[in-house]
Structure formats: structure tokens, C-alpha cells
Chain A
């Protein structure tokens, strides 16, 4: 029969959705309240009703849908849902599974999504950094007479982190981690782009990619979509603060890289030097990041009743960003404001571990939304879906 659709439900897929926090998916009775109350949903084939039935029926292709990424989890749908099916939460779980689907190696994404493996994932950068220190011969663990460990040696004198962990080694490790993330993202996006450009989403894309990408990025930077949320309106501002916190810090890191390797001006850069402006940007970035993530945390708590408590995958990124910001601020404080070498160096080490986690695991954590949502919004824009 022409046009026949054979539905192949994947029971394991449904079980995984339920296990990952989408246990309400089965409650949906397809009334479409969600699609209507959603301010982001396009008129043509709106989400999330159709994704809800795909999730219920175990239609795994839903992971290839760009629409799950157009959702910003405003929770308007969840608030109005007559069945307590929490479409917002279910779509978040689908996005988590899509990240896993497109990530390489997929196994790593599964580890990231499971709290059991958290110690293992944190242990990896700890060991890696210690190994590099050891290889550089600066690891302070010395075995004296007998087998007594004396702990990590804290460098004497003014606290300068590069005394202990050479900048070159840091740059090598973190550029490596970033390169790994970019490679994984590239593979993922390539597969995602191919998937959304075949069935069932084949449409003729309009306009050039670059021009549209610029428009989409502008949209993202201004949080134009996010601002349309009603129930969790404040989230757009909170998220904006975190994003700009990161942008400021990225600018600082990039400039520091140039100063170090092109202009050969060694860090640290202090408030009372001619490079004071760099430190100001860094402090502003850290402030935005910390304040933003704190507000995110508060908003989550406040909205838990309406929007659901959030999953481990969801909270993981919030805690990671908070850890990056806190260790960073403390590293600065313990170095420049209230110098305590015994604390400063270990905190700095923790800071490095956090940043490594952020970079290295980016394609596997919720942070991957940065890339996939951008691609989905680009696609939506080029296929006339109101984005």
C-alpha cells in the first residue's frame, strides 16, 4: 500500500526515557494543549505534542528531530498540561538521549548521564593532571627515607600558579581537551545535519548557511526565543548572564593566550598593572557567571513544583558551571586578595579539574545544547519554521 507507515516501537527506548526522568511521557493523551500554549512552537507541525506520542510509542527517530532542540524548556506546556505529563521535562530527556545518540563514543555519554560514574569521570582529569605534573618533574610527592609521603610541595614565595603548573603544559592539555570536544561535536553535527536533511524532515533549505547562521547567532546572543517563555521568564535573563559570563572569560583567556605566546607578557595579570582592564573583564565575567548560575539554581528550586525537579543530567551542568566559577574566584582570591599558598594551589588544581571537565565532556553533557540547538535553529530558520 502506497504511503503505508510501519510503526516499529522500541520498548527499550521507552524504558530508557522513563529511567532518565521522562516517566510522565506515558500520561500524555494528545490533547495538544502543550503545542498551543508554547510560544516557541511553529504553526506548521508544532511541538511538543508529536514528540510526546513518538516518545510514548518508542519511535526512536524522534531523537533526530530538530524540533526537540527548538524547545527551550520554558515549562509553559508542563504548567498547562492537563495530565501532568510534563512535556518540557520529557523533551529535555529526549535531548539528553539525542546528545548521547550523536556523541562519539556514545558510551562516554552514557557514563556522563549516570551519577554512578561521576567519581570515575572526575578522577580522569585528576590523574591526567597529576601525571603531567609528574612527567614534568614538578609533582611534589617525594618519597623520603623509607616510604613516608610528604604531600604535594607548595612553592615558596609569591603565589604564581605557573611556578607550580607551567602555562605551556596547561595550554597543551586544555587545547587538547578542546580539540577533542570540537572533533566530537563535528562528528555529531555532521550526522545530525545529515539526519535532519533526510526523511521525515526533507525540505528545501533557503538562503546561504553563513548569512542564516549569523542571524541565528544574533538571535541566540539576544536570547530572543528564550524571552518568550512565560512560566519561567526569569530563566532567560539568568541564562543570559551565564552565557555572557562565559563570553567575557573566553575573551580574557584568548587575550591571555596572545599576551603569553605572542607578546611574551607572562601571567599573572593584576588589577594594579597596566593590564588592569583584562582583570576587570575577568572579574566581571566571573561575577556574571556566578550570579547567573546562582539565579538559575534559585529559579530551579522555585519552579520545581510547576516544572519538575529536573534530572541529574540537568543539574550536573549547573553544578559544574558553579564549580568552575567558585574555584576560579577562590583561586584569584587566595592568590591576590588573601594569599594563603597552602589553600591557593590546591584550589587552583581543582579549578583546572573543573575546567577540564567542562571542556572535555562538553559534547556529552547538557552543554552540548550549545551546538545542537544552534544547528536546529539554523535548520528551522532555513526551512521556514518561524525561527
Chain B
């Protein structure tokens, strides 16, 4: 293996990883992106709109994908993991495992395999709101634009049907996991975040009470490429909810769950209140909060949403979520601390503002690193030549993650040229 001083490994192909990789590659470095999922774009691809401008994230992603396609110094692997790392700054040996997609580059995304596929799987991209076939396209503008076969959902021999249906010989059921090694000068960790498991918050009813969903599910319900085609429909009966409660700090700032503030959930709920209000002028959004955290200029967005007569901001945390007897509606209890009285109200749907867990909490980096008890990377204690970006260090919004990524790209370039 030759020493390649000019190479950077970026772990994570979400908005942060893409940005860091692109900035570094466009500055002349060789860059390898390793992405665990079968597509690039990460959580941003799942969002309906960005706050505070309420523009769709798709256009930003498109730009990144175009930059990526045009750049010969950038390669990426999807369904890939880093399984081993050794060495030091300027000379890291990295072993990757690339899991089989069972679909090769001949795929035209015609969809014949999915049509023929008899097996189904929970659609992780839509947070389990619907199912897809075991042969599926991750989402409508997935990059790479290729189908995937989920082997774990695929019954024995069900792959044969896909294989037979494919007119392009794009299905290769004999694919096996591959390992490869790269020698890189610097590593950027951009593993991003997972949504906290809301079912663990046993008093908020997620998974027990019908029509209690997470904020990320709300993004998918509102998104045009989501399971409902962009109509906000509650899961139990596909009726549009008129009155929706947003439960802030669902697990966040709670030492029984996530002891930290997840930073984005207040803005996310305010933003989602606009989704609801825009689609149905008669709808009501009730946001229950401990304190609304809208840092910096985001406060202006809060003012705008607050002034909408269909939005009610109630100072009091929801601590009980129950099903209304004999109905799919949801009863929530909070204390309105402004009046000092308990408030029990019934809603058509309840959105839990669930927080972020760093990906390193569940999947630590393949080399020993220092983490906070919550699983965040401690940037000051990273080995030389390894940099972490975005929500691996603390919960963050997209704008700040991207700024951070540019910083990490620069730090990596400095690291490469130092030698």
C-alpha cells in the first residue's frame, strides 16, 4: 500500500460529510466518502423544509450531488462501514467493509424488480410510516439512483423473482461483503445523529397511543415524497388532523433520557406548525414547551409563528399522553404554568419533539476515542489528523453543521500539508 499523503477519509455521507468532502476535494485533496446507508444525503434528505427560510432541502442536496459528480478526486462507497483504523496523522490505514447491494451499476431504476418482489420491509427512510418492497429505491431522488435489495427482509429465493424481472441484468444475488483498505492522511468523522427512541419515554405514549408521532415522522408526512404524498394525515385513519399538539423536550433535557438540549427541536416544531397551518387554515397547532430555544436570529421566526392566530404557545411540559376512550384522538396533560392550572386537552394528533443522539453513541469509531457519557465526540481529545463535524460533537442545525464541515475540511488540508 503506497502512502498517499493527499487523501482524506470522510465517514458519513450526510450534509456535513458531503460538504467537508466537497470542500476538501475542490481544494485538491483526494477524498473517499464512506456512507453506511445505501444513499447519500443523510437526515437532510428526509426533511420537508429547512428553517427559517422554509425552503426545500432538496435543492441544496442537488447542488452537492452535482459538485460530487463533477469532481474526479472524490469517490464514495454506500452501504459501507469503517471496521478498522490504525496509524497516526498523515498515515492512517483504514479498512472498509462494503455490504452487498445486490444491485449493480446497470440498474436504471425502472422499478421492475420492486414490482415483482413478493416481500416487504418497514420503510426506514419514512420512519416506519409505511412499507416498501424488499427491493426498493431508498427515495425518489436517491443518490446513487439505484435500487437496493434488503436481504434481511427477503425470504429465501424471493430474490430470484427480482432477478427474473430485471431486463438489464442489474440484479446480482451473489454479491458478498467486500473489504478494502485505504491509506489516508486525515479522517473526518461525520456520522451525524439518530433520533432518540421515543418509546423509551414511557409517559409520552409513543408506540402505545395511536396518533402519537415523532417530529421526523412529521417531516415525512409533510414531504411531497413522503408516505402520504405531502398531505399531513394521521396514521390511524389517514384523516387530516385539525388540532395538533407539539410536545417539546420529549426526552431532551431529561436526565432519564437525554440530559442535553437537542437545539433544533423548538425550531423544528415551530416550522412544522407552519406546515400544518399552510395546508389547512382551520387547523390549530398547540406547542407545549418548557422554554422556547430559538437561538440568534431564529427568534424572529418564532415571532412570526407566534403571531399566527392558529398557533398557541403554552408554557408547560406535557407529562402524560393517553388515548381518548373509544377514539383515536389523544388526550394530553400538562400544567399551564402561566395560569398554574392543569390542562387536559384532546388532540387529533400529537407530535413529540424528539432529540438527537450522536451516531457514535450506538456505533463508536473503530479506533478508541474519548466520548462524553452521552456519546458525543470530545473534539479536544481527538487524535491528530482526525476531526469531527456537526452533530457528533453537540446537537446542531444544518447551517452550523455545514460551517463546521468547511472548517473541518480546512483543518484536514492543513493536516495533510503539515507533513
- Residues of A with Cβ closer than 8 Å to B? 29-37, 41-46, 49-50, 80, 82-84
Contacts and interface: CB of A to CB of B under 8 A. Distances in A.
Contacts of B254: 82-83
Given A36-B334, A37-B320, A45-B340, A30 B290 contact: yes
A229 B340 CA distance: 22
Contacts of A41: 342
B317 interface: yes
A103 to B, nearest CB: 30
Interface residues on B, range: 20 to 34
Given A33-B317, A80-B203, A46 B335 contact: yes
Nearest to B332: A36
B316 interface: yes
Given A36-B320, A46-B340, A82-B253, 18 more contacts: A30-B290, A31-B249, A31-B316, A32-B334, A34-B319, A35-B319, A35-B335, A36-B317, A36-B319, A37-B320, A42-B342, A43-B341, A43-B342, A44-B342, A46-B335, A82-B254, A82-B257, A83-B255
Contact of B319 (A44, A50, A80): A80
A36 B333 contact: yes
Contacts, number: 60
B70 interface: no
Contacts of B174: none
Nearest to A34: B319
Contacts of B257: 82
Interface in B236-277: 249, 253-257
Given A36-B334, A82-B253, A31 B317 contact: yes
Nearest to B337: A32
B203 A37 contact: yes
Interface in B288-332: 290, 316-320
A43 B253 CA distance: 25
Q: Which of B256, B290, B316, B317 has the most CB of A within 10 A?
A: B317
A46 B203 contact: no
A33 B204 CA distance: 11
Nearest to B252: A82
Interface of B: 203, 249, 253-257, 290, 316-320, 333-335, 337, 340-342, 344
A36 B335 contact: yes
Given A32-B317, A82-B254, A82-B255, A46 B342 contact: yes
Contacts of A44: 341-342
A35 B319 CA distance: 9
Contacts of A34: 319
Contacts of B316: 31-32
A83 B252 CA distance: 11
A45 B342 CA distance: 7
B260 to A, nearest CB: 11
Contacts of B340: 45-46, 50
Smallest CB-CB A-B distances: 6 pairs: A82-B254, A36-B319, A32-B335, A31-B317, A33-B319, A43-B342
Contacts of A30: 290, 337
Given A32-B334, A32-B335, A84-B255, A45 B318 contact: no
Contacts of B337: 30, 32, 49
A238 B112 CA distance: 67
Which one of A35, A41, A44 has the highest number of Cβ atoms from chain B below 10 Å of its Cβ? A35
B256 A45 contact: no
Contacts of A33: 317, 319
Contact of A32 (B203, B253, B256, B319): B319
Contacts of A46: 335, 340-342
B209 to A, nearest CB: 15
Contacts of A32: 316-317, 319, 334-335, 337
21 contacts: A29-B253, A30-B290, A31-B290, A32-B319, A32-B335, A35-B319, A36-B317, A36-B320, A36-B334, A36-B342, A37-B319, A37-B320, A41-B342, A43-B341, A44-B342, A46-B335, A46-B341, A46-B342, A82-B253, A83-B255, A84-B255
A50 B334 CA distance: 14
Contact of B335 (A29, A49, A80): A49
A80 B318 contact: no
Contacts of A35: 319, 335, 342
Nearest to A43: B342
A70 B117 CA distance: 62
Contacts of A36: 317-320, 333-335, 342
Contacts of A43: 341-342, 344
Q: Which of B249, B257, B319 has the most chain A CB atoms closer than 10 A to its own CB? A: B319
B202 to A, nearest CB: 9
A315 to B, nearest CB: 26
Contacts of B318: 36
Nearest to B254: A82
B345 to A, nearest CB: 12
Contact of A80 (B249, B256, B290): B256
